[in-house]
Amino acid sequence: MMKEIIYRPIGVIHTPFRKPKGTPIQPEGGKNIEGTVQVFPEFAEGLADVEGFSHIILIYHFHLSKMFSLKSKPFMDTQEHGVFAMRGPSRPNPIAVSIVRLVSIKENILQIKDVDIVDGTPLLDIKPYVPEFDIRDVQKVGWLEGKVHKLRISRDDGRFAT
């Protein structure tokens, strides 16, 4: 067995969503919703040149997720699916990613839009979003086929929170 992996937050994400219930379930569902990312001062130097990107990938910890289950019902379906076929917070390692619009940076504070994250969420990393690196020609979307139209109206109903 591998050794335990320990990460420390590099910042905290601030949003209008005080609890999981009611939070959009993907950035597209949080279109134009604003938030901020506070990068801790000791990591602020790492923000050099980030302002040149219109979008960034936030990697964060689902800190309010309760115990994980290897199968559960996702927000946009009534059938159970395996945890690795879903993007929900109830996972063995509650890690999440969101691609958000970068509006501006002032010192160690990033203004962002298209937010689907609960306020106070620990930030683990930031990466630039580059379409040539990140967009793929996708032929299948699994069980989400015919359900992605629900994205803009789907919200967290609290089922995965503590």
pLDDT at res. 36: 98
pLDDT at res. 161: 63
pLDDT at res. 7: 94
pLDDT at res. 150: 58
pLDDT at res. 77: 78
Cα(94)–Cα(61) distance, integer angstroms? 6
- With a CB cutoff of 8 Å and minimum separation 6, the contacts of 127 are 56, 57, 59
In a domain, 105, yes or no: yes
- Print the domain residue range for 80: 11-131+139-149
Query: pLDDT below 50 — which residues of the chain?
Result: none
- Residue 65: CATH number of its domain: 2.40.30.70
- As for how many domains the chain has, the answer is 1
